[in-house]
Amino acid sequence: MDGAVTSRATAASIRGPDGNVSKVEVISYEPATGAEVWRGPVADVDDTVARARRAWPAWAAQPLSTRMELLRRFANEVRKDAEKLATTIAREVGKPLWEARAEVDSVIGKVEVSIRAYAERTSQRKLDSALQGTMAVRHKPHGVLVVLGPFNYPAHLPNAHIVPALIAGNAVIFKPSERAPATGEMLARCFHRAGISAAVMQFAPGGPAQGAAFVAHEGVDGVLFTGSANTGIAINRRLATRPDKLVALEMGGNNPMVVWDTPKLTDAAALVVQSAFATTGQRCTAARRLIVRDTMYDAVMSEVKTLADRVIFGAPFDEPAPFMGPVIDNAAADGLTESFLYLLSHGGRAIKHLVRPDDKLPFLSPAIIDVTAMKERPDVELFGPILQVIRVSDFDEAIAEANATRFGLAASLVGGTPQEYNRFWANVRAGIVNWNRPTIGPSHAAPMGGIGLSGNHRPTGYYAADYCAYPVASGEMEQPRAVIGVGLR
Query: Do residues 278 and 240 share a domain?
Result: no
pLDDT at 19: 40
Helices and strands per DSSP (H, E), number in the chain: 14, 20
Residue 59 lies in a domain: yes
Residue 65 lies in a domain: yes
- Is a pLDDT exceeding 90 seen at residue 146? yes
CATH number, domain of 124, equals 3.40.605.10
- For the chain, the domain total comes to 2
What residue spans of 369-469 are helical by DSSP H?
395-402, 418-427, 464-468
How many CB atoms within 10 Å of residue 145? 29
Residue of 212, 87, 213 lying closest to 154 (CA atoms) = 87
195-241, pLDDT tens digit by residue?
999 999 999 999 999 999 999 999 999 999 999 999 999 999 999 99
- Contact, 304 vs 265, CB < 8 A? no
In angstroms, the CA 484 to CA 487 distance is: 8
Could you write out the three-class secondary structure of 80-120? HCHHHHHHHHHHHHCCCHHHHHHHHHHHHHHHHHHHHHHHH
Query: Do residues 222 and 341 share a domain?
Result: no
In angstroms, the CA 315 to CA 35 distance is: 13
Average pLDDT, integer, range 276-290 = 98
Average pLDDT, integer, range 141-151 = 98
Residue 217 lies in a domain: yes
pLDDT at 133: 85
What is the chain's percent helix, strand, coil content, to nearest 5?
40, 20, 40
Query: Do residues 216 and 328 share a domain?
Result: no
Q: How many residues does the chain have?
A: 489
Query: Do residues 141 and 275 share a domain?
Result: no
Query: Do residues 217 and 260 share a domain?
Result: no
**Summary mean pLDDT of the chain:** 94
pLDDT at 103: 98
Does 256 sit behind a cis peptide bond, omega within 30 degrees of 0 on the bond before it? no
Which of the following is catalytic: 77, 99, 250, 303? 250
Residue 469 lies in a domain: no
Domain final position from 199, 226, 251: 251
pLDDT at 23: 59
CATH number, domain of 286, equals 3.40.309.10
Q: Indicate if the alpha-carbon torsion angle 456, 460, 466, 470 is positive or negative.
A: positive
Has 468 been annotated as catalytic?
no
Picking from 78-92, 365-379, 469-483, which range would have the lowest pLDDT averaged per residue?
A: 469-483
* Distance (Å) of CA 188 to CA 24, 131, 159, 449: 21, 51, 10, 25
Which of the following is catalytic: 30, 190, 284, 381? 284
Query: Do residues 72 and 189 share a domain?
Result: yes
In angstroms, the CA 377 to CA 406 distance is: 12
Q: 57: helix, coil or strand?
A: helix
- Give the model's confidence band at 10: pLDDT under 50 very low, under 70 low, under 90 confident, else very high: low
Query: Do residues 226 and 278 share a domain?
Result: no
In angstroms, the CA 211 to CA 208 distance is: 5
Q: 390: helix, coil or strand?
A: strand
The residue segments making up the domain with residue 297 are: 255-435
pLDDT at 130: 63
- Give the model's confidence band at 335: pLDDT under 50 very low, under 70 low, under 90 confident, else very high: very high
Q: For 388, phi and psi rounded to 5 degrees?
A: -100, 135
Query: Do residues 334 and 410 share a domain?
Result: yes
* Distance (Å) of CA 222 to CA 143, 226, 228: 8, 13, 18
Residue 461 lies in a domain: no
Domain final position from 218, 251, 284: 251
* Percentage of residues of the chain with pLDDT beyond 90: 89
Average pLDDT, integer, range 467-483 = 91
DSSP track, 314-364: --TT-SSPPSB---S-HHHHHHHHHHHHHHHHTT-EEEE----S-TTS---
Residue 479 lies in a domain: no
* Distance (Å) of CA 223 to CA 149, 173, 265: 11, 10, 44
44-78, pLDDT tens digit by residue?
999 999 999 999 999 999 999 999 999 999 999 99
Average pLDDT, integer, range 380-390 = 98
- Is a pLDDT exceeding 60 seen at residue 455? yes
CA angle 402, 408, 409 (to 5 degrees): 110
Query: Do residues 138 and 55 share a domain?
Result: yes
Query: Do residues 235 and 377 share a domain?
Result: no
- Contact, 74 vs 107, CB < 8 A? no
Has 401 been annotated as catalytic?
no
Average pLDDT, integer, range 409-438 = 98
Query: Do residues 219 and 269 share a domain?
Result: no
pTM assigned to the model: 0.94
Domain final position from 251, 274, 309: 251
Q: Indicate if the alpha-carbon torsion angle 43, 228, 230, 240 is positive or negative.
A: positive
- Is a pLDDT exceeding 80 seen at residue 278? yes
pLDDT at 468: 98
pLDDT at 17: 35
Residue 283 lies in a domain: yes
pLDDT at 15: 34
Query: Do residues 81 and 175 share a domain?
Result: yes
- Give the model's confidence band at 482: pLDDT under 50 very low, under 70 low, under 90 confident, else very high: confident
- Give the model's confidence band at 11: pLDDT under 50 very low, under 70 low, under 90 confident, else very high: low
Residue 247 lies in a domain: yes
- Is a pLDDT exceeding 80 seen at residue 13? no
